[in-house]
């Protein structure tokens, strides 16, 4: 089961990522743009997610994904760390959020970052 230190390690391994405390919690930013936070005493991770996909995730796996009331109008979803399958799933979630926040120059430099490898 991944924990907050796994979130921190994986997030900071992504290109041009920094950690900054905001709203009394750790936040992770790519080129200054936030893509993940560690709220709720660091038992969950909040990440960027298009609203349609977010709603589908929450409906499909409500024990894993949820939407905080104050984030309902934004394209963010939360994942309970203790419900994630493994570090690989966490890495995919964080990389996907990173791609949504990263500037084009980083997306072009890392086109396959976080995408599943072909078998």
Q: Where are the domains of the chain?
A: 4-104
Tokens 């290109």 identify what position? 15
CATH, range 4-104: 3.90.1150.30
Render 12-60 in DSSP notation, one character per residue.
HHSTTEEEEEETTEEEEEETTEEEEE--GGGTEEEEE--HHHHHHHHHH
Q: Mean pLDDT throughout 99-104? A: 94
Hey, which residues does 96 pair with through a beta bridge? Answer: none
CB atoms within 10 A of CB 99: 19
pLDDT tens-digit profile of 72-82? 999 999 999 99
pLDDT tens-digit profile of 38-51? 998 999 999 999 99
pTM over 0.75: yes
């Amino acid at each position: 089961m991944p924990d907050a230190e796994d979130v921190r390690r994986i997030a900071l391994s992504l290109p041009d990522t920094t950690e900054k405390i905001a709203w009394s919690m750790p936040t992770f930013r790519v080129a200054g743009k936030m893509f993940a936070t560690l709220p709720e005493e660091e038992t969950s991770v909040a990440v960027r997610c298009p609203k349609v996909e977010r709603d589908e995730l929450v409906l499909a796996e409500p024990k894993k994904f949820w939407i905080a009331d104050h984030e309902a109008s934004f394209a963010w979803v939360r994942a309970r760390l203790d419900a994630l399958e493994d570090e690989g799933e966490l890495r995919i979630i964080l990389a996907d959020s990173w791609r949504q926040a990263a500037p084009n120059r980083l997306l072009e430099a890392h086109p396959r970052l976080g995408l599943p490898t072909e078998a």
